[in-house]
Amino acid sequence: MNAYLMLGLAIVAEVIATSSLKASEGFSRLVPSVLVVFGYASAFYLLMQVMKTVPVGVAYAIWCGAGIVLVTLVASVMYRQVPDPAAWLGMALIVAGVAVIQLFSRLNGH
């Protein structure tokens, strides 16, 4: 399987797990708790596989940056935690940083 496809799946698994943490209510609710454990286990397994071929810095930057933005979007829908303009600016800067690493850094083989 393509490393970047696996990275995408790792990001989705991490977003599901992180978004389920609040719903688990301290691991007192079964279904969200299972989603947390399964999501993180899947995310870390996939991330570990990705790092066999993608540099650690690049894989982690993409994983974290995409995770931050996606968890924020999910939280704004599920928990009505809508980011303010400063938060959106911060996330835009994170995405820009990941893009710079991906496009121009020697970490990515350039």
Kindly state the average pLDDT of the residues 21-50. Answer: 97
Interatomic CA distance for residues 24 and 35, integer angstroms: 9
Answer whether 68's CB lies under 8 Å from 13's CB.
no
Domain positions in the chain:
3-108
40-99 tens-digit pLDDT: 999 999 999 999 999 998 899 999 999 999 999 999 999 999 999 999 999 999 999 988
Cα–Cα dist 53/68, whole Å: 23
| Whether the predicted model's global pTM rises above the 0.85 cut | yes
**With bands split at pLDDT 50, 70 and 90, how would you rate the model's confidence at 104?**
confident
